[in-house]
Amino acid sequence: MRLYWLIYLASAALILVTLLPLWRREDWWVRVWDFPRLQLACAAGILLLLQSLLLDEGATITPLIQTATALCLCYQLWWIFPYTPLARREVKTSADIDADTNLSIVTANVLTTNRQAQRFLALVKEMSPDIVVTLESDAWWQSQLDSLEDRYPHTLKCPLDNLYGMHVYSRQPLHDGQIEFLVEDDVPSMHAMVELPSGDAIRCHFLHPAPPSPTENEESAERDAELIMVAKSLQDYKKPVLVTGDLNDVAWSGTTRLFRKISGLLDPRVGRGMFNTYHATIPFARWPLDHLFHSAHFTVNELKRLPGFGSDHFALYASLNMHRRALPSQDGLDAEAEDKAWAEEKLSQQSVDESDVPVPRV
């Protein structure tokens, strides 16, 4: 009998945490359940097996709890399915790679307390990206990263010791580079135009908003506002755009989907995989926190998660090929009236709007 009750309680807990994210409250203890959808799907599968083997089939509650658990499983799988190779790819694979219109980026949350900088620098040397973006990089990390300057002479630097330092090192010229604090006074973002060897320019935004958590922001309001104000600043922009960083949100969350709907940007992971970048040292608790989104001007040469280097995040590597015109065959998510109203609500809560986002120019 005690085993029955354990299964009942576990099933009830699964149902609760599956339903909680449907509630649009921004409290961290609600929003945190957006993250482990793969883990919850696995838990639902295990519970279904235990229910079929151990529960009394004659009990009235058994088919009810089995049905509810199966619905939880299907619902969690619905969210993560686009980030499996079974789904249709949102961004095409490049047919040809033109060095003059190619752009490669390594995005890495290096972890402020991590002192294994040489492992990270070795990864950079191996991958040889055009741009290196680091998050959580303080003054010590800057002293290590500055060794890149002979190969990456164009830089934006904001060393901070509050876990929100940020650096950009670029082989390609950066025009009109700006460091801004869009929502919170101690959380920076970076904005610049990147010039390719072809002479074409790409508008880039590098972000690292604070997460909803009991140790940082108790709500997701600040994070959401930063993402949405950047998204709104891009919604009518018709030229090449790229946004990357540790967004402290998962690829399948309602907020990230809202960002994509409002901005019109594409996610190259759709149809390719999850590319879980966090947590690097806990294999069973991983999800995609580090992101790269872009306009329909790009196709994918390569997308991969890099090996660990002592941080709690893996680095994300992306190599893209830019086309001078947006490819009409590449479609993302469409914004409806309800989405636009929700976006405005998120901005009004923090008294910010898209006009606060820099528009870098060549």
Q: Which CATH architecture has domain 99-356?
A: 4-Layer Sandwich (3.60)
**Mean pLDDT along residues 171-198:** 97
Angle at 61 between CA 57 and CA 66, to 5 degrees: 75
**85, 274 Cβ separation under 8 angstroms:** no
Q: CA separation (Å) from 40 to 55, 69, 105, 271?
A: 21, 11, 32, 21
Name 155's bridge partners: 169
- Quote the pLDDT of residue 194: 98
**155, 163 Cβ separation under 8 angstroms:** no
Helix (H) or strand (E) holding 316: strand 316-322
Smallest Cα–Cα separation from 167: which of 175, 179, 176? 179
Smallest Cα–Cα separation from 156: which of 111, 204, 202, 191? 191
Q: Which tokens hold the place of 42?
A: 């696995």
- Quote the pLDDT of residue 362: 83
State which amino acid sits at residue 324. Answer: R
Percentage, residues of the chain above pLDDT 70: 100
**249, 34 Cβ separation under 8 angstroms:** yes
State which amino acid sits at residue 191. Answer: H
- Quote the pLDDT of residue 1: 57
**Confidence band, pLDDT 50/70/90 cuts, at residue 73:** very high
175, pLDDT greater than 60: yes
pLDDT tens for 292-305 read: 999 999 999 999 99
Query: Helices (H), strands (E): how many in the chain?
Result: 9, 11
**Mean pLDDT along residues 320-345:** 94
DSSP assignment of 90-109 equals SSPBPSS--GGGEEEEEEEE
pLDDT tens for 122-134 read: 999 999 999 999 9
**Confidence band, pLDDT 50/70/90 cuts, at residue 136:** very high
Rounded distance between C-alpha atoms, residue 76 and residue 47, angstroms: 14
**Mean pLDDT along residues 254-276:** 97
**167, 145 Cβ separation under 8 angstroms:** yes
- Quote the pLDDT of residue 59: 78
**Mean pLDDT along residues 319-326:** 96
CA dihedral 227, 251, 36, 82 (to 10 degrees): 150
**Confidence band, pLDDT 50/70/90 cuts, at residue 58:** confident
Rounded distance between C-alpha atoms, residue 314 and residue 347, angstroms: 31
**Burial of residue 28, with CB atoms counted within 10 A of its CB: 0-12 exposed, 13-18 middle, 19 or more buried:** middle
**Mean pLDDT along residues 97-117:** 96
Rounded distance between C-alpha atoms, residue 120 and residue 287, angstroms: 21
